[in-house]
Structure 1
Amino acid sequence: MTFRSIALLGLVPLALAACSKTEEDVAAVPPPPPGSVAGSTAADRDGDGIVDGYYTSDGIYHPYAPPAPPPPPPAPSPRGERG
């Protein structure tokens, strides 16, 4: 029983490989627009490492909104001297 199982596991990939098609050559992908990350639509226009906007499929750059202000400092703790 185990020999048949092992033989079957060895022959199935060979049989399926005979049916596979060879892949055709595909044209190279055009380079991304200036300032964008390759393989992504995100863009870092000023080169600081933070994404500044994105490109749409027609190649138009859309900047993100300005960053939000930092959160307010935390309230003082209720511990300590009161008075």
Structure 2
Amino acid sequence: MTSTTIKVETSVRDDLARVAAEDLGGVTLNTALTHLLTEHRKAAVLAAYARLEADASAWTDYESELDEWDGLAGDGLGGGQ
């Protein structure tokens, strides 16, 4: 693993250390930061789906596209059950 140094305020480092210790079971700061970034990305995806669902027309189009893809599941090609 290649590593680098970043500058953060002491209070930010201390907050990250607290989260790593108390909320994430004593993981390293690197693991805690990775976890928090992953959670941030998941939240962004869920927010995008919420915006899509809020637009009735776009949501209908999305569901129609899902139905088209679902129709391919039984395409007779090997590998499926």
Q: TM-score range by the shorter chain?
A: under 0.3
TM (norm. structure 2) is: 0.24
TM (norm. structure 1) is: 0.23
Q: Which has the higher helix share?
A: 2
Which structure has the bigger radius of gyration?
A: 1
Q: Which has the higher strand share?
A: 1
